[in-house]
Structure 1
Amino acid sequence: MIDIMASAALAADANPTEQEQNAALQAHFQPNVSVDEIEQVFHLKRAQPLLQVFTALFHGGFEGVLVRLLVLRELANDTASSAFSRADINTKLAYMLPESLETVLMRLRSNQLLAWDAQQAVYRVTPMARNVLSAIDSLLGLGQTEDQAEMGFLLSQVAGAQAVGGVTVEQLQHLLGRLVDLTEEFRDAIASGSEFRLRASQAKWHLACDWVEKGSEILRAITSDERADAATHRAAQAIGRAQSQLLNMQGMFSRALNQIERQRVHLGQSGLSTTDIKRWLLEHEDLASLAEDAIDQPAKPLFITPAEMIDVAETELMAERAGNTGEGGLPTGQDAPTTINDTPAMQKELDDWLARLSDFANLNNFPSVAEGAPKEIPVHESLLPASFAVASYRASLLPLLGDAAEASLQGATAELARLPLTFTPTDTMVKLPDLEIAAISMASLSLDLEESGKADE
């Protein structure tokens, strides 16, 4: 006990003064830059007591951090009493060594995580310690869930701050930064052209969209709050734009997967593709084990001299000449082997629908130049009649109309993008007397007469 108190006294004597701390901090910056002129440094220095609490908890090796958090959580979780005597602590943490427990208690007490009441000779957990543990427990609890998008904790912080009226611009900027990171990650996955990476990113995208739906209600509350300042409103609007970019990536995923589907290679008539083989290989951790017992006998190399090589070559040459002395003429004809059309059914659906839209877009085939002729049709008339799967597939291709990037490519989807049609969606729904589709978004396909006239010229 005396040694511990002596080491604590030496540590207190070794603590630098405020002037020495400022000098040490200034050493990390350019000589012509004053530390006090940086805004973020001012905010961090103002939060020095809280940051020192985290330093006291997480300084050192993982074992020491684990023991400090264990002691503090054991005391904070005991709600039967707000004060603990040393005997109570020894009983509650009897599984620890007395020396280690004494060191941890002194560290927590010296950093305002535990308060010592000298009159009653008891320890008390400070409010700052409870706030720190609450933040750590929230992060640990969300880390155990399957949140691949890693937006749950950030969104919960914004929601909690908004509920008590204390949301800050920094919290909104953290959420905005995560949305930007996800958007860049999904764009890289689409640009990679890897089917497995695309499907993994698409699943992660669906999880991120679930969080976006929950966050939209919070953003509406922030933007409608009259107490929020201009910076908070700008950050909330930036988050809304980032969410819109994230939601609009569904068409990019569908387009990339459709492109991979068209380029997929099938092995004969077996129905297996290169994707199936790659998926099967990925399920095996040790690919070398697949070669076991695959070869019955090892390869036996044969070595011959140059003289023997010449003799063999001469024999083969003379045999070939002797075979060419027979009767000349063309070989007898043979029937060509029967093949089966491997064109995917969905490709045929795309070709049929493309021909249908082309008839509408072609002024020579559609009487749109006459007076009173329709220049616009409801979108469900172009999608139906069809099954739910075919109608959904057609609807997913509508955003390609007028896409300049897609129109510069080749293929059926590029022809679709070059059609002089304009797709105009709305937020309302229209009910349909269809057996498979009960309702559909109200939208229209309009004919661009100028583009169509240029195409005819």
Structure 2
Amino acid sequence: MANAAAAAEAPGSGQEHQDTLQAHFQPNVSADEIEQVYHLKRAQPLLQVFTALFHGGFDGVLVRLLVLRELASDTATSAFSRADINTRLAYLLPESLETVLMRLRSNQLLAWDAQQAVYRVTPMARNVLSAIDGLLALGQNEDEAEMGFLLSQVAGAQAVGGVTVEQLQHLLGRLVELTEEFADAIASGSEFRLRASQAKWHMACDWVEKGSEILRAITSDENADSATHKAAQAIGRAQSALLNMQGMFSRALNQIERQRVHLGQSGLSTTDIKRWLLQHEDLASLADGAIDQPVVPLFITPAEMIDVAETELLSDRVSGTAPGGLPAGQDAPTTINDTPAMQKELDDWLARLSDFAALGNFPSIAEEAPKSIPIQDSLLPATFAVASYRASLLPLLGDASEASLQGATAELARLPVTFTPSDEMIELPDLHVAAMSLATLSLSLDPQGDKTDE
């Protein structure tokens, strides 16, 4: 009787649906002329299945999905008698179970076999449950980029050779949305929003790597049409734009790092304070106990204001008529301008090298002094700091650009001494320096011969 009544009402309801649909369009536009309307009407049976499942309140939707999932999960048998269903779903009220079974049966989610008096889960119901389960499984994972389901749809369609342009366009639209979202986060200048978007960007890049192989398979498929190739190429360009945002994130975070304000020597910054404040849901509660008593405003009348102003005026006049004149002279404090320790060390080091360049008697004065000596004999004995400072000046020897200047370092650069380093190390029996690079200091030869011989 229910089927007969539905069949009797079908023509009228279809005409009413057509009239209702046309009411949403402009008077001079026919709904049937819209391409997307045609595709959606062609999928009307499937869309009615979703309507049957998800129409109404959330509690009713939950019960329908519960019943359908319980029946579809039983792989031991494909047919269920009413007694089996009552036993399996005994935790539901009989009236509620009867209502749900009638709704699922009338919308082709359950098929009734009258000869055997059993229910069967239809293939369409299994397809719908598979899509819902896939979406629920991906929703349980930490996929903040929300690309997993779209990419899984493209991958599954590609595996069976049925990828559509619409599926690729959904994935492309999500990539464009992510790129715009990340660009807005970078433009905002907010450190917290930038770091949250950067974490989301890393997750999106993981999905991009997984989808690159699928896109290569689509673009290399000779059987794919031109629209599919164009959509796949557009996805590739969108992925490239997404991957290129790493440098933009780094520059924005570095700029924020340079502008960060630190509170004295405490080590705390404005970022730490903001992070601490965000951990409190009620910021007003932080003021509890901070003020012992409310602020009491003080009010004064014009008479008190005149008295205060008169006092201030007279005090200025008294200070102006006070005996003036220049203060008595005082001797300036005597200060000793000591030569900086580093400058004195530079002068001593320049004197030693000049003595070597003039007489060839460095580090000891003797006629048989060598024209080249190991570097450790020239730098030591000295403390580690002094030896390091002397070693840092050695590359200036023979530097033409430094020699053209004025000062102690310029004199050092003009000395006829050559510094010859090497990559080897030599251990030293010294209290301050354990090892040193193997190098030598030697006298430079002028065009006339050895300067020492002269």
Q: Report if TM-score (shorter chain) is over 0.5.
A: yes
Letter in 1 for 2:90: A
Find the aligned partners of 2:114 and 2:325 in 1 and give their Cα distance: 118
Relative distance call for 1:271 and 1:322 in structure 2 (3 A) is farther
Find the aligned partners of 1:268 and 1:169 in 2 and give their Cα distance: 59
Within a 5 Å distance, the mapping from 1:81-96 to structure 2 comes to 81-96=77-92
Within a 5 Å distance, the mapping from 1:60-139 to structure 2 comes to 60-139=56-135
Find the aligned partners of 1:200 and 1:270 in 2 and give their Cα distance: 27
Find the aligned partners of 2:104 and 2:144 in 1 and give their Cα distance: 35
**Helix, strand or coil: the match of 1:104?**
helix
Letter in 2 for 1:150: E
1:39 is aligned to 35
Find the aligned partners of 2:323 and 2:190 in 1 and give their Cα distance: 55
Find the aligned partners of 1:12 and 1:322 in 2 and give their Cα distance: 111
1:287 is aligned to 283
Relative distance call for 1:214 and 1:329 in structure 2 (3 A) is farther
How far 1:26 sits from its partner (Å)?
2.1
Of the three residues 273, 296, 304, the one matched with 1:308 is 304
**Helix, strand or coil: the match of 2:174?**
helix
1:227 is aligned to 223
Of the three residues 191, 194, 199, the one matched with 2:190 is 194
**277-286 or 101-110, which deviates more:** 277-286
Within a 5 Å distance, the mapping from 1:129-168 to structure 2 comes to 129-168=125-164
Letter in 1 for 2:207: W
**Structure 1, residues 311-341: CA drift from partner, whole Å, max 9, x if none?**
123223333444453656699999xxxxxxx
Find the aligned partners of 2:288 and 2:30 in 1 and give their Cα distance: 69
**Structure 1, residues 205-249: CA drift from partner, whole Å, max 9, x if none?**
111001000000110111111121111111000000000000001
Letter in 1 for 2:214: I
Of the three residues 201, 208, 211, the one matched with 1:212 is 208
Find the aligned partners of 2:326 and 2:98 in 1 and give their Cα distance: 105
Q: 1:275 aligned to 2:271?
A: yes
* Structure 2: tracts of 5 or more residues without a match: 334-454
Letter in 2 for 1:240: G
**16-25 or 172-181, which deviates more:** 16-25
**Helix, strand or coil: the match of 1:137?**
helix
Find the aligned partners of 2:155 and 2:326 in 1 and give their Cα distance: 87
Relative distance call for 1:224 and 1:309 in structure 2 (3 A) is same
Relative distance call for 1:79 and 1:330 in structure 2 (3 A) is farther
Find the aligned partners of 2:159 and 2:55 in 1 and give their Cα distance: 33
Find the aligned partners of 1:305 and 1:26 in 2 and give their Cα distance: 77
**Helix, strand or coil: the match of 1:60?**
coil
Relative distance call for 1:311 and 1:126 in structure 2 (3 A) is same
Kindly tell me the number of residue pairs found equivalent between the two proteins.
330
**Helix, strand or coil: the match of 1:30?**
coil
TM-score, scaled to structure 2: 0.68
1:340 is aligned to none
Find the aligned partners of 1:230 and 1:258 in 2 and give their Cα distance: 44
**Structure 1, residues 124-156: CA drift from partner, whole Å, max 9, x if none?**
000100000000011011111110000000000
1:400 is aligned to none
Relative distance call for 1:9 and 1:292 in structure 2 (3 A) is farther
Letter in 2 for 1:93: L
Relative distance call for 1:315 and 1:30 in structure 2 (3 A) is same
How far 1:276 sits from its partner (Å)?
1.8
Letter in 2 for 1:73: R
Percent identity over the alignment? 85
Find the aligned partners of 2:213 and 2:266 in 1 and give their Cα distance: 51
Find the aligned partners of 1:162 and 1:330 in 2 and give their Cα distance: 96
**Structure 1, residues 258-289: CA drift from partner, whole Å, max 9, x if none?**
22222222223333222221111111111111
**227-236 or 15-24, which deviates more:** 15-24
Find the aligned partners of 1:288 and 1:52 in 2 and give their Cα distance: 52
CA RMSD of aligned residues (A): 2.4
Relative distance call for 1:310 and 1:175 in structure 2 (3 A) is same
Letter in 1 for 2:315: A
1:26 is aligned to 22
Find the aligned partners of 1:278 and 1:97 in 2 and give their Cα distance: 53
Relative distance call for 1:18 and 1:330 in structure 2 (3 A) is farther
**15-24 or 159-168, which deviates more:** 15-24
